[in-house]
Amino acid sequence: MFEDSPTCINYREKNPRKPCHECPLMKFVPADRRDTNTPCRHIRLTERGDTVNSFYEWGTEEELETALGRWLIETIQELETDTLALKQIA
């Protein structure tokens, strides 16, 4: 999902590909999954721990899109809150 979108640092890249560890999404990838071929597939999208990878294995595309949409909204809200808090401190 992430690697097929403009979110990916290698989206539409031919060669050389950038290493995944340079991707800003890596901060959302659990430490024990960062060395996988597609670490972004292991970002936890739900409180249950569902990931892009788990939806690929047993979920539907609709379930994945719904979970991803919720995760994006929640993550953006958290980032905006953190940014606002930092501005108030400064």
Q: Over its length of 90 residues, how does the chain's per-residue pLDDT go in tens digits? A: 788 888 888 888 777 788 889 899 999 999 999 999 899 999 999 999 999 999 999 999 999 999 999 999 999 998 888 776 666 775
* C-alpha 21: how far from chain center: 13
Overall number of domains in the chain: 1
pTM for this one?
0.78
Q: Which amino acid is at 42?
A: H
Q: State the amino acid at position 20 in one-letter form.
A: C
Per-residue HEC secondary structure of the chain comes to CHHHCCCCCCCCCCCCCCCHHHCHHHHHCCHHHCCCCCHHHHCECCCCCCEHHHHHHHCCHHHHHHHHHHHHHHHHHHHHHHHHHHHHHC
Give residue 15's domain range: 2-89
